């Protein structure tokens, strides 16, 4: 395969790219983990000793610098004769000068490192210093080396994980790709676009994410951008995955060798060599498939694409760190569709070396404008997973992309959380993503999951960078969220934030729209540099964490949960050169017998609540939250001055409890004065003090993953298909249910009884609350009295009816009873009950009186017709049957009358607003920067041809399908 590629790629181009690669990118040395043990040695930035001196003193071989990380060096020694134990899940020591968790206690290199680190503490008056065997020159050299050493971390290769969508398979060996596809009607959206732009790619009509013929409003709205010549020219994207098939006719012309590397097989061609190495090629096709006659087109079909292969075998943290910075001077975007297992029980963050690489990318990549990292939110929502338990997706440096399907619905697999920035299109509701596959001219119809949504976000950002290459990584996040389009506006998950924008845990700030994004990018005023505020750490008295990370003490989490508050003042803002809020991060220390029972939320001074972590039913870990960091983008643009309240609660299960030990709160945003701004440095890289280091009790960094099934392979990044449900492409989407149904909303009034409970449960849903109150006895007595009265009245009416039927009894009595009953009917509804009339609240009296449905139906007409003969009465009843109690209750729950609607609160949209009104209101409340650069939320407005304008702007949205997943939201305009 390699030879085939070399002959097909023009020789001049190949030589030029190889030369550029040699001068611009550091070519990683080949690893030999089978025969050598590898370590990452960090030297102090002020080190006077050279890397070679330090390596020689440690007795290790210096291999190379770790990627683009300054002062970090990969060293190695031949493997020990004994097998080193796997300690990857043991707690990590994070005080300065200590090794990481991955170093065996018996490691001779580790012992040597400790000995060298402790050397400066030897007194100059000690016997060793005065000994003739300690010459002054040797002593000085060892002292310099000792002061130069910062940390040592042993490298243990681990398998990173893909999150791709499986190809649908059948028992006869065929796939959905073999099925004949329905012909596309002439004049359809995709055909008109193809004709106008000269697209002849055979599966373009199937690429609904680019041109949706069935639901025209639900695609990337990209054709008008293409018509302007914006196709990603000059922008390079790296897909960090399982390889890129450079032999594909759909990708070869756009392949960028300089930014490519295979960290699994240590070659410069990241070819897919394993049978399941397909996901990376498919993602590359979504982004940059060439406009030709092979398969389909990419979103940015004239951009360049690199492959960085890391998911096809075990790699170390040093390899992953190098991969995320590889070629970062020329590569603009890193598309990452992988992460921790989406099983609803894992909680994993990247280790310190990888966090350093990501920070290095945003600080120094693209000539200081910052690398752009795009991550898929995850496919584990069906297992109760949430993307805030993934340290890649909840990073402030990530553009986190969730999924919606071809009808604009939320797929049940797409993870929700406060870190979701936006949604893009992917599988669900009977459809999938059509794109390039591994092979010379192969295509696939089986791509899906959030790992297919993220590359669409990547390609769209590439279009924006073509027209505005000076955008920084934070500018990109700004324009992405500000150009997002609200879909399913009646979904109760939407909430109006303090900035005036809508936010949803499921949809982020809305659906990606290429036209609006590019138009906004053209005129967007660049943000000032980043500023941040690290609020003082809050520690509950009596809390403690030992050297092994075991948490004790803290405040017990009782029935009312635990609250803790911090105050942000104007003075704090000014002293930190802080002007506008973007992200917030919250790090918590919580001990608990079942981590999945814990719920964490924070409320801003404006009353906006961010659910940071909801309950996860499958997470049975007993390790709690030993310093886990959550992130929220929901408070973007909000004034942070005032009191922020953190709330922690659990499910109050007997003997399954925990305690809250403390938390830290950080704010990230835009500075006041650019001239005073500085780059953020991780605490681990801060200069060491000369005095003795005493880290505070709650600064233990969380660096390992604990789960119910943790066996020491906790930091594995699974294949992108891992955890994606088999029915990801077929399951019906949703736009009626909030992501966290049991959580209160921001500044919402007390909730009323739900309209969606089962008929026999609605009125007794809170009986447990009555039992906890002393008023329940009074209520019970009153209900008993009502019951007795109702029973007496019932027998009185039955007796009067029987007397009337037999012609006996006092007519006066019977008439008086009839008058009373008829009057009650008029008070409740203005006339006798008939079909379609709803029962008023007072009519619950009948149910409490235990009147049977049949008797009630008969008695209503008996009172009004007591002097008619029995046959006539029955005949009239047959013509006008009455509603029964449970029938009416069910009627109240019909979609027209009782569908769940957004809860009304200070920051909620009006329930009945139209899509257009909502869009207008949202625009009117935008801050000055956004009004200045707003690109508009409509479909393409000015294109090269009028025909394209008609296709994008005048489609009716009727899909021609009557399937159950066609919701009314499909008719809501952008």
pLDDT tens profile 848-868: 333 344 444 444 444 444 444
Is pLDDT above 70 for 86?
Answer: no
- Does the residue 169 lie in any domain? no
- Does the residue 749 lie in any domain? no
CB atoms within 10 A of CB 336: 31
Q: Which residues have CB under 8 Å from 628's CB, separation 6+?
A: 347, 349, 389, 587, 588, 702
Q: Is residue 689 very low, low, confident or very high in pLDDT (cuts 50, 70, 90)?
A: low
CA distance 974 to 966: 17
CA distance 970 to 216: 9
- Does the residue 665 lie in any domain? yes
Residues 779-799 have pLDDT tens digits of: 556 666 777 777 777 666 666
The sign of the dihedral angle between the CA atoms of 646, 651, 653, 656 is negative
DSSP three-state, residue 613: strand
C-alpha separations of 73 from 61, 151, 152, 321 in Å: 10, 11, 10, 12
CA distance 52 to 50: 5
pLDDT of residue 727: 52
Are 102 and 116 found together in one domain?
yes
Q: Which residues have CB under 8 Å from 193's CB, separation 6+?
A: 199, 211, 223, 948, 951
> Tokens 């949205």 appear where?
957
- Between 195 and 847, the higher pLDDT residue: 195
371, two tokens: 């690398």
Q: Where are the alpha helices (DSSP H) in 610-665?
A: none
> What average pLDDT does this structure show over 403-423?
97
Strands 372-376, 333-336: pairing kind:
parallel
DSSP three-state, residue 169: coil
pLDDT of residue 14: 44
DSSP β-bridge partners for residue 589: 626, 662
Is pLDDT above 80 for 600?
Answer: yes
pLDDT of residue 611: 98
pLDDT of residue 239: 99
CA distance 370 to 373: 9
Q: Which residues have CB under 8 Å from 550's CB, separation 6+?
A: none
Q: Is residue 737 very low, low, confident or very high in pLDDT (cuts 50, 70, 90)?
A: confident
What is the DSSP secondary-structure string of 702-713? Answer: ------TT-SS-
Q: Which of 402, 444, 452 is nearest to 427 (CA)?
A: 452
Are 383 and 477 found together in one domain?
yes
Burial class (CB in 10 A: 0-12, 13-18, 19+), 945: middle
- Between 743 and 296, the higher pLDDT residue: 296
Q: Is residue 804 very low, low, confident or very high in pLDDT (cuts 50, 70, 90)?
A: low
Domain boundary, last residue among 528, 555, 585: 528
Are 350 and 489 found together in one domain?
yes
Is pLDDT above 60 for 925?
Answer: no
pLDDT of residue 323: 98
CA distance 860 to 858: 6
Are 539 and 510 found together in one domain?
no
Say how far residue 781 (Cα) sits from the centre of its chain: 51
DSSP three-state, residue 770: helix
DSSP three-state, residue 700: coil
Domain boundary, last residue among 511, 528, 545: 528
CA distance 742 to 599: 11
Q: Which of 845, 850, 828, 827 is nearest to 837 (CA)?
A: 828
Are 152 and 181 found together in one domain?
no
Q: What value does the mean pLDDT of the chain take?
A: 76
Is pLDDT above 50 for 921?
Answer: no
The sign of the dihedral angle between the CA atoms of 50, 53, 57, 61 is positive
- Does the residue 9 lie in any domain? no
CB atoms within 10 A of CB 944: 16
Are 192 and 317 found together in one domain?
yes
CA distance 524 to 928: 11
> Tokens 């190949």 appear where?
14
What is the dihedral angle through the alpha carbons of 488, 492, 496, 502, rounded to the nearest 10 degrees? -30
Is pLDDT above 60 for 340?
Answer: yes
Which 3-state string (H, E, C) describes 208-262? CCCCCCCCCCCCCCCHHHHHCCCCCCCCEEEEEECCCCCCCCCCHHHECCCCCEE
CB atoms within 10 A of CB 347: 25
Are 231 and 186 found together in one domain?
yes
309, two tokens: 């292969």
Domain holding 585: CATH number?
A: 2.60.120.260
Are 511 and 538 found together in one domain?
no
CA distance 724 to 513: 25
CA distance 379 to 725: 8
Q: Which residues have CB under 8 Å from 546's CB, separation 6+?
A: 552
Q: How many domains does the chain have?
A: 4
Are 492 and 510 found together in one domain?
yes
What's the chain's Rg over C-alpha atoms?
33
Domain that holds residue 815: 779-895
Sequence-distant contacts of 115-124: CB under 8 A, at least 24 apart = 116/57, 116/58, 116/142, 116/145, 116/146, 116/149, 117/146, 117/149, 118/146, 119/143, 119/146, 120/146, 120/147
- Does the residue 412 lie in any domain? yes
pLDDT of residue 909: 33
Burial class (CB in 10 A: 0-12, 13-18, 19+), 627: buried
pLDDT of residue 120: 62
Lowest mean pLDDT among 323-327, 400-404, 870-874: 870-874
pLDDT of residue 902: 38
Is pLDDT above 90 for 635?
Answer: yes
Residues 602-632 have pLDDT tens digits of: 999 999 999 999 999 999 999 999 999 999 9
Are 186 and 309 found together in one domain?
yes
> What average pLDDT does this structure show over 449-465?
98
The sign of the dihedral angle between the CA atoms of 729, 730, 733, 737 is negative
Burial class (CB in 10 A: 0-12, 13-18, 19+), 454: buried
Lowest mean pLDDT among 212-226, 462-476, 805-819, 869-883: 805-819
- Does the residue 753 lie in any domain? no
- Does the residue 298 lie in any domain? yes
C-alpha separations of 409 from 29, 136, 731, 736 in Å: 47, 74, 11, 10
pLDDT of residue 124: 46
pLDDT of residue 790: 73
Which span out of 373-377, 763-767, 931-935, 968-972 was modeled with the highest average pLDDT?
373-377
Terminal-to-terminal C-alpha distance of the chain? 46
- Does the residue 698 lie in any domain? no
Q: Kind and range of the H or E element at 933?
A: helix 928-933
pLDDT of residue 687: 80
Q: Which residues have CB under 8 Å from 11's CB, separation 6+?
A: none
Q: Which residues have CB under 8 Å from 775's CB, separation 6+?
A: none
Q: Are 240 and 334 in contact (CB under 8 A)?
A: yes
CA distance 688 to 71: 15
Name the residues annotated as catalytic.
Answer: 241, 279, 451
Is pLDDT above 90 for 408?
Answer: yes
Task: Give the Cα-Cα-Cα angle 133, 134, 138 (nearest 5 degrees).
Answer: 130
Q: Which of 52, 86, 95, 96 is nearest to 154 (CA)?
A: 86
Q: Which of 802, 860, 851 is nearest to 831 (CA)?
A: 860
CA distance 207 to 211: 6
> Tokens 């976000």 appear where?
457
DSSP 8-state code for residue 186: T
> What average pLDDT does this structure show over 224-240?
98
Q: Is residue 107 very low, low, confident or very high in pLDDT (cuts 50, 70, 90)?
A: confident
Domain holding 286: CATH number?
A: 3.40.50.200
Are 282 and 370 found together in one domain?
yes
DSSP three-state, residue 42: strand
Percent of the chain with pLDDT over 90: 57
Beta strand residue intervals within 7-82, DSSP E: 36-43, 61-65, 72-78
pLDDT of residue 111: 92
Of the CA atoms within 13 Å of residue 954, those in its CB half-sphere come to: 9
Domain boundary, last residue among 528, 548, 565: 528
CA distance 393 to 389: 8
Q: Which of 5, 566, 493 is nearest to 271 (CA)?
A: 5
pLDDT of residue 548: 85
Q: Which residues have CB under 8 Å from 495's CB, separation 6+?
A: 502, 503, 504, 608, 634, 745, 746, 902, 905, 907, 908
CA distance 228 to 466: 12
Torsion region of 809: left, alpha or beta (phi above 0 gives left; psi -120 to 50 gives alpha) = left
Residues 135-172 have pLDDT tens digits of: 578 888 899 999 999 999 999 998 877 665 544 444 45
pTM: 0.72
194, two tokens: 């193809």
CA distance 497 to 508: 12
pLDDT of residue 221: 98
Lowest mean pLDDT among 97-111, 399-413, 615-629, 710-724: 710-724
Are 364 and 470 found together in one domain?
yes
> What average pLDDT does this structure show over 555-582?
98
- Between 884 and 39, the higher pLDDT residue: 39
């Amino acid at each position: 395969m390699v030879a085939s590629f070399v002959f097909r790629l023009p020789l001049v181009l190949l030589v030029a790219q190889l030369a550029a690669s040699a001068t611009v990118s550091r070519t990683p040395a080949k690893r030999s983990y089978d025969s050598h043990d590898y370590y990452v040695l960090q030297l102090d930035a002020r080190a006077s000793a050279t890397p070679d001196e330090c390596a020689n003193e440690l007795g290790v071989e210096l291999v190379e610098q770790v990627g683009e990380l300054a002062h970090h060096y990969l060293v190695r020694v031949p493997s020990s004769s004994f097998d080193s134990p796997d300690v990857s899940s043991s707690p990590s020591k994070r005080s300065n000068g200590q090794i990481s968790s991955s170093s065996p206690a018996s490691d001779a290199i580790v012992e040597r490192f400790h000995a060298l680190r402790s050397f400066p503490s030897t007194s100059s008056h000690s016997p060793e210093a005065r000994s003739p065997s300690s010459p002054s020159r040797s002593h000085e050299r060892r002292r310099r080396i000792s002061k130069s050493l910062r940390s040592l971390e042993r490298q243990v290769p681990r398998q990173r994980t893909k999150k791709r969508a499986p190809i649908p398979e059948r028992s006869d060996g065929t796939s959905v790709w073999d099925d004949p596809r329905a012909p596309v009607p002439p004049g359809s959206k995709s055909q008109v676009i193809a004709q106008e732009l000269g697209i002849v790619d055979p599966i373009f009509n199937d690429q609904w994410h680019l041109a949706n013929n069935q639901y025209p409003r639900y695609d990337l709205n990209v054709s008008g951008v293409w018509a302007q010549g914006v196709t990603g020219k000059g922008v390079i994207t790296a897909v960090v995955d399982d390889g890129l098939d450079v032999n594909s006719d759909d990708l070869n012309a756009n392949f960028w060798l300089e930014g490519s590397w295979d960290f699994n097989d240590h070659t410069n061609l990241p070819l897919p060599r394993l049978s399941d190495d397909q996901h990376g090629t498919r993602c590359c096709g979504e982004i940059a498939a060439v406009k030709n006659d092979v398969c389909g087109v990419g979103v940015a079909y004239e951009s360049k694409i690199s492959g960085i292969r890391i998911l096809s075998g075990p790699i170390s943290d040093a390899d992953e760190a190098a991969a995320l910075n590889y070629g970062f001077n020329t590569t603009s975007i890193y598309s990452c569709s992988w992460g921790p297992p989406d099983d609803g029980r894992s909680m994993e963050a990247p280790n310190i070396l990888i966090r350093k690489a990501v920070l290095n990318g945003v600080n120094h990549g693209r000539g200081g404008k910052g690398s752009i990292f795009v991550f898929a939110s995850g496919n584990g929502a069906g297992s109760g997973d949430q993307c805030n338990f993934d340290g890649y997706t909840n990073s402030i440096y990530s553009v986190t992309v969730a999924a919606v399907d071809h009808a604009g619905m939320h797929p049940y697999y797409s993870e929700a959380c406060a870190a979701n920035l936006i949604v893009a299109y992917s599988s669900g509701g009977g459809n999938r993503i059509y794109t390039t596959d591994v092979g010379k001219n192969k295509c696939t119809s089986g791509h899906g999951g959030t790992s297919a949504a993220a590359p669409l976000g990547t390609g769209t950002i590439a279009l924006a960078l073509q027209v505005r290459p000076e955008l920084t990584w934070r500018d990109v996040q700004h324009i992405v969220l500000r150009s997002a389009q609200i879909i399913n506006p009646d979904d109760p998950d939407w909430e109006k934030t303090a900035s005036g924008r809508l936010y949803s845990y499921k949809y982020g700030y809305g659906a990606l729209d290429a036209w609006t994004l590019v138009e906004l990018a053209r005129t967007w005023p660049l943000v000032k540099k980043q500023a941040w505020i690290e609020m003082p750490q809050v520690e509950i008295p009596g809390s403690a964490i030992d050297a092994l990370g075991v948490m004790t003490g803290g405040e017990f989490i009782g029935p009312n949960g635990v609250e803790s508050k911090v105050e942000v003042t104007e003075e704090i803002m000014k002293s930190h050169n802080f002007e506008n809020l973007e992200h917030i991060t919250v790090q918590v220390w919580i001990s608990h017998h079942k981590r999945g029972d814990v719920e964490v939320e924070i409320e801003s001074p404006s009353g906006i609540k961010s659910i940071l972590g909801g309950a996860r039913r499958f997470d049975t870990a007993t390790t709690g939250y030993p310093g886990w960091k959550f992130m929220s983008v929901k408070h973007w643009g909000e004034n942070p001055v005032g009191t922020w309240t953190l709330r922690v609660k659990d499910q109050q299960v007997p003997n399954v409890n925990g305690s809250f030990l403390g938390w830290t709160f950080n704010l990230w945003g835009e500075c006041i004065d650019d001239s005073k701004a500085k780059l953020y440095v991780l605490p681990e890289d801060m200069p060491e003090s000369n005095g003795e280091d005493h880290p505070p009790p709650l600064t233990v960094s969380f660096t390992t993953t604990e789960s119910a099934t943790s066996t020491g392979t906790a930091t594995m990044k699974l294949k992108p298909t891992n955890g994606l449900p088999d029915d990801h492409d077929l399951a019906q989407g949703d736009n009626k249910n909030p992501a966290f149904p049991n959580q209160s909303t921001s500044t919402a009034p007390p909730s009323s009884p739900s309209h969606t409970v089962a008929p026999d449960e609605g009125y007794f849903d809170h009986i447990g609350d009555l039992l906890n109150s002393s008023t329940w006895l009074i209520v019970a007595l009153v209900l008993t009295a009502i019951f007795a009265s109702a029973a007496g009245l019932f027998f009185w009416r039955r007796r009067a009816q029987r007397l009337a039927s037999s012609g006996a009894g006092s007519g006066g009595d019977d008439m008086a009873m009839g008058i009373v009953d008829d009057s009650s009917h008029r008070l409740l509804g203005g006339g006798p009950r008939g079909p379609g009339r709803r029962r008023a609240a007072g009519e619950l009296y009948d149910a409490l009186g235990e009147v049977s449905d049949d008797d009630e139906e008969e008695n209503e007409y008996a009172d009004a017709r007591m002097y008619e003969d029995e046959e006539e009465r029955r005949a009239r009843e047959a013509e006008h049957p009455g509603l029964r109690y449970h029938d009416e209750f069910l009627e109240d729950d019909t979609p027209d009358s009782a569908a769940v609607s957004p809860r009304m609160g200070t920051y909620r949209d009006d329930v009945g607003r139209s899509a257009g009104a909502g869009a207008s209101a949202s625009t009117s409340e935008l801050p000055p920067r956004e009004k200045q650069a707003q690109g508009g939320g409509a479909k393409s407005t000015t294109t090269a041809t009028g025909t394209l304008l008609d296709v994008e702007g005048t489609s009716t949205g009727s899909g021609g399908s009557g399937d159950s997943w066609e919701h009314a939201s499909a008719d809501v305009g952008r």
